Amino acid sequence: MKTEQSLIRYIADNWLDGDAEGLDENTPIAELNVIDSAGIFDLVHHLQDEYRVTVPLPDVAPRNFRTISAIADLVHRLQEKGAVR
C-alpha cells in the first residue's frame, strides 16, 4: 500500500469515523477541523511506529502536515536521511 493511501486510511479511521470520502492526497488537513495539536502528536507517534522513522521536533511544523502528500513527503525524506528507528 502506498504511503499516501495508508495515511488516508489512518486519518479516516481515527478522526473521521472511517469515512475517507473527499479525503485525498491534496486535501488541506487543517480544513477538516478534526485534528488538533494533540492529534498532530498522535499522528507523529503513528508515523514513528508505522514507518519506523524518528520525527525531529523541528519537523513537527504546519508545512509538513498541511496535506496527506506533505506528510508522506516528510516520511520519505526521513527515510532517505536515515532517520529510522
Domain boundaries, the chain: 3-81
In this prediction, residue 83 carries a pLDDT of 63
Domain 3-81: homologous superfamily in CATH: ACP-like (1.10.1200.10)
How many Å apart are CA 2 and CA 51, to the nearest integer? 12
Give tens-digit pLDDT for 47-72. Answer: 999 999 999 999 999 999 999 999 99
Instruction: Evaluate if residue 73 carries a pLDDT over 70.
Output: yes
For residue 12, pLDDT beyond 90: yes
With a CB cutoff of 8 Å and minimum separation 6, the contacts of 80 are none
